[in-house]
Amino acid sequence: VAGPLGSTLSTRFGARPVAMVGGFLAGLGLFLGAFSTHLSHLCLSVGVLAGLGWALVFTPSLGTVGRYFPARRALATGLVVSGASVSGLALGPLVPLLLDTYGWRGALLLLAAISFNLVAAGALLRPLPVAGESPGPPRDRPGLIRLLRHGPFLRYTLAFVLVDVGYYVPFVHGAARAHEVGCDEHRAGLVMAAMAAVDGGGRVAAGWLAARPAAPLLRHLFTWAVLTGLTLLLLPLGTSFGGLLTLALTYGFCAGALVPLQFAGVAEVVGAGRLVHAIGLMQMFESFGSLLGAPFAGWLRDMTGNYTISFLAAGAFLLAGSLLILTLPGFFHTSRGAVGKGGSPAPPPDGPETPPIPPEP
């Protein structure tokens, strides 16, 4: 929800100081959580404070990458967001070990120490100077308001609100589904680890493929969204360990492929000059879909007695979101002379002098 705050602050003060402050808040939230004596303390420290810190790190960092690599934005974004998969694989076995060795308080202290390294990472962000940029702070509020009146951006955001309702269901309920089909703890953990492992590969592969000039980026995005939704619809067919593992590997790869294209696609819709603002707003709206999906799938499981309807509903949300991508300008054709090196429409120049986005009729 704090995505717009991160984008506004980074536009006004620069990505580096905002990301550094965010890294400090993330580490501080985990550190204070280690001294909690009540659940509400954890909600405020790990939930609010650390969550705010992560928002202040993620949005400026991703926006900076988009400005550094306009021609190969999808590939660069894919490489960057693959770091989440690497850390997820590392923390998967590490966190249980920390809990067994040091308890939950000690584990939070060590995770806080890791998170404080975000301050150093944020210090490495050096946004490129933009030619023709006028001095003085940019007008943040009008930029946000124009985005809220921009029809293609709103449709793009709604598409990923729907996608996120279904997207996280296998990651949250995958282990329970594995138990449901007769897998023990070891095999259930293997299914989840395999899905996380190929997720990173999908992120890099999709970014590399989108950098080829074969088709506009939005078509790549639509294709991967449809493949992810169809795989999710097929997950109930995995009634054995082998079948479920195969479908989980396929879903992990396709779901990973969506991530870099989603954020690179923002620039295709609104232009690179408003990329940071657009990412922040999109994150805020997406959070509602993310929060709704897993509990809704769990409720369906409670009502029906198994996860079949849960996964079918999640896949339907993903496919519904993918259909909205078809309505975006430039999906079916690209204007002649407006194609960048990466094979997708060239973004408008960065900086405050980017022409304002007119509201869609």
The model carries a pTM of 0.79
pLDDT digits (tens, 9 = 90+) for 270-328: 887 788 888 888 989 998 999 999 999 999 999 999 999 999 999 999 999 999 999 99
pLDDT digits (tens, 9 = 90+) for 123-147: 998 876 654 444 444 454 556 788 8
pLDDT of residue 339: 37
Give the residue extent of every domain in the chain: 2-123+142-326
pLDDT of residue 356: 39
pLDDT of residue 92: 75
Residue 119 pLDDT more than 90? yes
pLDDT of residue 294: 94
Superfamily of domain 2-123+142-326: MFS general substrate transporter like domains (1.20.1250.20)
Mean pLDDT over each residue of the chain, to the nearest integer: 84
Task: Work out the average pLDDT over 85-93.
Answer: 79
Task: Work out the average pLDDT over 64-74.
Answer: 83
pLDDT of residue 214: 62
Task: Work out the average pLDDT over 188-207.
Answer: 88
pLDDT of residue 334: 53
pLDDT digits (tens, 9 = 90+) for 209-261: 887 766 788 899 999 999 999 999 999 999 999 999 999 999 999 999 998 89
Question: Are the C-beta atoms of 177 and 244 separated by less than 8 Å?
Answer: yes
